[in-house]
Chains A and B, each alone.
Chain A
Amino acid sequence: MMGRFFGGVHPDYNKDLSRGKPIETMPVPGRLVVYLSQNLGAPSKAVVKKGDAVLKGQVIAESGGFVSTPVHAPVSGVVAAIDTFPHPVGTDLPAIVIEPDGNDRWADGCDVERDVDALSSAEIRDLVHDGGLVGMGGATFPTHVKLSPPPEKPIDVLVLNGAECEPYLSADHRMMVEHAEEILDGAALFARVIEVGRVIVGIEKNKPDAIAAMRERAAGREGFEVAALDVVYPQGAEKQLIFAVTGRRVPAGGLPMDVGVLVQNVATCRAAREAVRFNRPLIERVLTVTGRAIAEPKNLLVRVGTPFEDIVAFCGGMSGETGKIISGGPMMGVSQYSLAAAVTKGTSGIVLLRRDEVAQFVSDACIRCGRCVEACPMRLDPSTLSILVERMRFDDAGETGVNDCMECGCCAYVCPSRRPLVQHFRRAKAELRAKARKAG
Chain B
Amino acid sequence: MLTAILALAAVALALSFVLAIAARVFAVDVDPRAEKIEEALPGANCGACGLPGCSELARRIAEGKADIDACPVGGAAVARAIAAIMGQDFAGGGVRRVAMVMCNGGDESARRRFWYNGVRDCNSAALLFGGDKSCAYGCLGLGTCAGVCPFGAIDMTGAGLAVVDPARCTGCTKCVDACPKGIIRMVPADRTIHILCSSHDKGAKTRKVCAVGCIGCMKCVKAAPEGAIAMDRNLAVVDYEAEIPPEIAGECPMKTIHVRKLDGLADLDAAAGGER
Name B123's closest neighbour in chain A (CB-CB): A427
Tell me if B19 counts as interface (CB < 8 A to partner A): no
Known interface pairs A424-B119, A427-B119; A92-B124 also in contact (CB < 8 Å): no
- Which of B117, B118, B124, B132 is the one whose CB lies under 8 Å from A360? B117
Tell me if B26 counts as interface (CB < 8 A to partner A): no
Tell me if B113 counts as interface (CB < 8 A to partner A): yes
Tell me if A430 counts as interface (CB < 8 A to partner B): yes
Q: Are A427 and B127 in contact (CB under 8 A)?
A: yes
Q: Are B129 and A423 in contact (CB under 8 A)?
A: no
Q: Are B127 and A423 in contact (CB under 8 A)?
A: yes
Tell me if A66 counts as interface (CB < 8 A to partner B): no
- Tell me if A's interface is mostly helix, strand, loop or mixed: mixed
Q: Which residues of B contact A431 (CB under 8 A)?
A: 123
Nearest-Cβ distance from residue A359 to partner chain B, whole angstroms: 10
Tell me if A256 counts as interface (CB < 8 A to partner B): no
Tell me if A337 counts as interface (CB < 8 A to partner B): yes
Name B112's closest neighbour in chain A (CB-CB): A337
- Which of B113, B119, B124 is the one whose CB lies under 8 Å from A337? B113
Q: Are A424 and B129 in contact (CB under 8 A)?
A: no
Nearest-Cβ distance from residue B144 to partner chain A, whole angstroms: 10
- Which of B121, B124, B129 is the one whose CB lies under 8 Å from A86? B129
Tell me if B128 counts as interface (CB < 8 A to partner A): yes
Q: Are A423 and B119 in contact (CB under 8 A)?
A: yes
Q: CB-defined interface of B103-120 with A at 8 Å, one 1/0 digit per residue?
A: 000000000011001110
Tell me if B83 counts as interface (CB < 8 A to partner A): no
Tell me if B130 counts as interface (CB < 8 A to partner A): yes
Nearest-Cβ distance from residue B186 to partner chain A, whole angstroms: 21
Q: Are A337 and B118 in contact (CB under 8 A)?
A: no
- Tell me if B's interface is mostly helix, strand, loop or mixed: loop
**Chain A 315-350 interface residues, beta-carbon cutoff 8 Å to B:** 334-335, 337-338
Q: Are B124 and A90 in contact (CB under 8 A)?
A: no
Q: Which residues of B contact A423 (CB under 8 A)?
A: 118-119, 124, 127
Tell me if B136 counts as interface (CB < 8 A to partner A): yes
Q: Which residues of A contact B136 (CB under 8 A)?
A: 92
Known interface pairs A423-B124, A427-B124; A92-B118 also in contact (CB < 8 Å): no
Q: Are A92 and B129 in contact (CB under 8 A)?
A: yes
Q: Which residues of A contact B128 (CB under 8 A)?
A: 90, 334-335
In the complex, the number of residue pairs spanning A and B with C-beta atoms less than 8 Å apart equals 38
Q: Which residues of B contact A91 (CB under 8 A)?
A: 129-130
CA distance A358 to B98 in the complex (A): 44
**Chain B 129-160 interface residues, beta-carbon cutoff 8 Å to A:** 129-130, 132, 136
Nearest-Cβ distance from residue A144 to partner chain B, whole angstroms: 30
Name A363's closest neighbour in chain B (CB-CB): B119
Q: Which residues of B contact A337 (CB under 8 A)?
A: 113-114, 129, 132
Nearest-Cβ distance from residue B182 to partner chain A, whole angstroms: 13
Tell me if A41 counts as interface (CB < 8 A to partner B): no
CA distance A175 to B164 in the complex (A): 57
Nearest-Cβ distance from residue B208 to partner chain A, whole angstroms: 14
Name A84's closest neighbour in chain B (CB-CB): B136
Nearest-Cβ distance from residue B149 to partner chain A, whole angstroms: 14
Tell me if A426 counts as interface (CB < 8 A to partner B): yes
Tell me if A420 counts as interface (CB < 8 A to partner B): yes
Nearest-Cβ distance from residue B234 to partner chain A, whole angstroms: 15
Nearest-Cβ distance from residue B176 to partner chain A, whole angstroms: 16
Q: CB-defined interface of A74-106 with B at 8 Å, one 1/0 digit per residue?
A: 000000000000100011100000000000000
Q: Are A426 and B130 in contact (CB under 8 A)?
A: no
Name B136's closest neighbour in chain A (CB-CB): A92
CA distance A270 to B129 in the complex (A): 32
Nearest-Cβ distance from residue A322 to partner chain B, whole angstroms: 12
CA distance A334 to B118 in the complex (A): 13
Q: Which residues of B contact A90 (CB under 8 A)?
A: 127-129
Q: Are B130 and A420 in contact (CB under 8 A)?
A: no
| Most interface-central of B118, B128, B129, B132 (chain A CB within 10 A) | B129
Nearest-Cβ distance from residue B179 to partner chain A, whole angstroms: 14
Name B148's closest neighbour in chain A (CB-CB): A392
CA distance A430 to B126 in the complex (A): 11
Q: Which residues of B contact A335 (CB under 8 A)?
A: 128
- Which of B119, B123, B132 is the one whose CB lies under 8 Å from A420? B119
Name B125's closest neighbour in chain A (CB-CB): A423
Q: Which residues of B contact A424 (CB under 8 A)?
A: 119, 124
Q: Which residues of A contact B127 (CB under 8 A)?
A: 90, 423, 426-427, 430
Known interface pairs A337-B113, A427-B124; A420-B129 also in contact (CB < 8 Å): no
**Chain A 418-440 interface residues, beta-carbon cutoff 8 Å to B:** 420, 423-424, 426-427, 430-431
Additional 17 contacts, C-beta under 8 A, given A337-B113, A361-B117, A424-B119? A86-B129, A90-B127, A90-B128, A91-B129, A91-B130, A92-B129, A92-B130, A92-B136, A420-B118, A420-B119, A420-B124, A423-B124, A424-B124, A427-B123, A427-B124, A430-B127, A431-B123
- Chain A residues within CB distance 8 Å of chain B: 86, 90-92, 334-335, 337-338, 360-361, 420, 423-424, 426-427, 430-431
Nearest 6 interchain pairs by C-beta: A337-B114, A427-B124, A90-B128, A420-B119, A423-B118, A423-B119
16 A-B pairs in the complex with CB atoms less than 8 angstroms apart: A86-B129, A90-B127, A90-B128, A91-B129, A92-B130, A337-B132, A338-B114, A360-B117, A420-B119, A423-B118, A424-B124, A426-B124, A426-B127, A427-B124, A427-B127, A431-B123
- Chain B residues within CB distance 8 Å of chain A: 113-114, 117-119, 121, 123-124, 127-130, 132, 136
